[in-house]
Amino acid sequence: MKLISEQWSDDVNYLIEEDPKTGKKHAFIEGVMLQTEVKNKNGRIYPKEIMQKEVARYNKEYVEQNRAYGELGHPEGPTINLERTSHLITSLKEDGNNFIGKAKILSTPMGEIVKNLLNDGARLGVSSRGMGSLKTDRQGVNMVQSDFQLATAADIVADPSAPDAFVDGVMEGVEWIWDNGVIKAKKIEEYKHSIARARTHKLQEVKLNVFNDFLKNL
């Protein structure tokens, strides 16, 4: 079995909903989290029957138990790191060949960064993460096999083609970054300094470098 990650959506919907009991407002994202029967950009196909079975298990063991967490960024392993969680998946439903998911943005340091990014207009997508084996067919397509298991239906990932809103959101979210985390407030100040010193014709390049460095340090 190997780690399999797929970015399914480049632009999820951002929702603000009010709890009818408490009146408190909560932030959610919603969109396509999984897709079957089509070759994705990584050259893989998820058979619908296999995904249906796995989503049923994931819903029962994780979503319904309020422990279907996801992270901000691209984790390198299948384990969910609680200190990096940004959201909780609250529903995952079949819609044709797609599975539409909804996730509540948590009041964690990473969750607050997500809220700032979305409030500043950043385009965010979702990426599934799981373990499984692949079998290559005659056309060279990698078919995901029946041992596939989801680690999470959705991590939140950023769109590097739109670094401006990303940078603005990170700067505003600096107070939410843990001092004992993987990226510290001092690093954010370095990012600000780099952008402030950048010449006009180099500004976009500097912002993109900041973006990439931030993702590497998550």
Higher pLDDT, 191 or 84: 84
Asked if residue 59 and residue 36 are part of one domain, the reply reads yes
Q: How high does pLDDT run on average in the chain?
A: 82
Asked if residue 154 and residue 170 are part of one domain, the reply reads no
Asked if residue 118 and residue 91 are part of one domain, the reply reads yes
Asked if residue 198 and residue 117 are part of one domain, the reply reads no
* Partners of 30 in beta bridges: 13, 102
Q: Is 91 an active-site residue?
A: no
Q: Exactly one of 9, 86, 87, 127 is catalytic; which is it?
A: 127
Asked if residue 94 and residue 119 are part of one domain, the reply reads yes
Question: Three-state DSSP class for 179?
Answer: coil
Q: Is 127 an active-site residue?
A: yes
Asked if residue 191 and residue 147 are part of one domain, the reply reads no
Residue 57 has pLDDT above 50, yes or no: yes
Q: What digits encode the pLDDT tens for the residues 123-175?
A: 788 889 999 999 998 888 899 999 999 999 999 887 544 444 444 544 444 44
Asked if residue 154 and residue 168 are part of one domain, the reply reads no
Of 142, 158, 174, which residue sits at a domain end?
Answer: 158
Q: C-alpha 37: how far from its chain's center?
A: 22
Q: How confident is the model at residue 101 (pLDDT cuts 50, 70, 90)?
A: very high
Of 158, 183, 203, which residue sits at a domain end?
Answer: 158
List the domain range (segments joined by +) for residue 53. 2-158
Asked if residue 101 and residue 174 are part of one domain, the reply reads no
Q: Exactly one of 5, 26, 74, 194 is catalytic; which is it?
A: 74
Nearest alpha carbon to residue 84 among 187, 215, 210, 182: 182
Residue 52 has pLDDT above 70, yes or no: yes
Positions of E strands within the chain: 2-9, 13-18, 25-35, 44-45, 69-71, 85-95, 98-105, 124-132, 134-136, 142-144, 149-158
CA distance from start to end of the chain? 25
Total number of domains constituting the chain: 2
